[in-house]
Amino acid sequence: MNPIRLLLVDDDPLVRAGLSFMLGGAEDLEIVGEAADGSEVEALVDRTRPDVVLMDIRMPTVDGLVATERLRGRKEAPQVIVLTTFHADEQVLRALRAGAAGFVLKDTPPADILHAVRRVAAGDPVLSPAVTRQLMEHAAGGAPDTRRASARTRVAALNDREREVAVAVGRGGSNAEIAAGLFMSVATVKTHVSRILAKLDLNNRVQIALLTYDAGLLETDDR
C-alpha cells in the first residue's frame, strides 16, 4: 500500500519540527511538506498532493479556518484535521462546519495523532458524533432559529429511510450499529450515507451530525 501523504501546517516551527519528528518514523506515513501559514496551503497541496492536512487554527495571515474552507471547496480535496489547544471552541466548530474531519489537541500523544491521521485517511472522522454534539452545545448553545430553519429545509430533501440513517449517524452509530438498528445490511447503510452526503453537498459524517443537530432531529422531542 502507498503511504499516507501528510502536510503539516503550523506557524510555530518548533511545533512543526516536533510533529515531523514524532510522525515521520511511521512506515505507512510520508510527510510531504510543511507550511507556516494558511496562505501557503493551496499551492503546497497542488504541489505535494497530500491525503491529509494537519492544520493549526490560529495563524497570523490566513488562519486555519479560512484555509480549511478553501481546501474543502476544491474538487478532490484532502482531508483536514484541525490542531487546537482548546477542545470546546467556537473556532473548532467552525472548522467542522467547513468540512474538517475532526480535531486533535496539540498535547495529544503522538500515537493518538498518528491514529487520527490513519482514520481520516481511511475515510472515518476522528471524533464521534456524540463528541461533536457536546462541542456544539458547549461552544454555540442551541441552534439559532435561522440555522434551524435552513437545516430543516435541507433535511427535507432526504427520503424517509435516508433521514433515519442521517439521524442514526448523528446519534453516533457505526455502520454496523445502524444496520442492526434499522434492519438493513452494512452495505446498504454505506450506500445511504453516500447518497446523503451527495444530496446535501456534505463532506463527511461529522457534517451529517452537525446538520441533524441544527435541524433539531437529535432532541428527545423530535424522536
Show the cell assigned to 102.
475532526
Question: What's CA 178's distance to the chain center, in Å?
Answer: 20
Q: What is the pLDDT of residue 87?
A: 65
Q: How confident is the model at residue 222 (pLDDT cuts 50, 70, 90)?
A: very low
74 CB contacts (<8 Å, ≥6 apart)?
42
3-state helix, strand, coil in the chain (%, to 5): 55, 15, 35
Q: Is the pLDDT of residue 209 over 90?
A: no
When mean pLDDT is compared across 57-66, 182-191, 212-221, the lowest value belongs to 212-221
| Tens digit of each residue's pLDDT (9 = 90 or more) over 131-163 | 666 666 655 555 567 888 989 999 999 999 999
> For 195-201, what is the mean pLDDT?
93
Q: What is the largest CA-CA distance in the chain?
A: 51
How does the average pLDDT of the chain come out, rounded?
A: 86
| Tens digit of each residue's pLDDT (9 = 90 or more) over 114-136 | 988 998 898 877 765 556 666 66
Question: 103 pairs with which residues across the strands?
Answer: 82
Contact predicate 16/10, CB 8 Å: yes
Whole-model pTM: value is: 0.77
4 CB contacts (<8 Å, ≥6 apart)?
28, 29, 30, 51, 52, 117, 118, 121
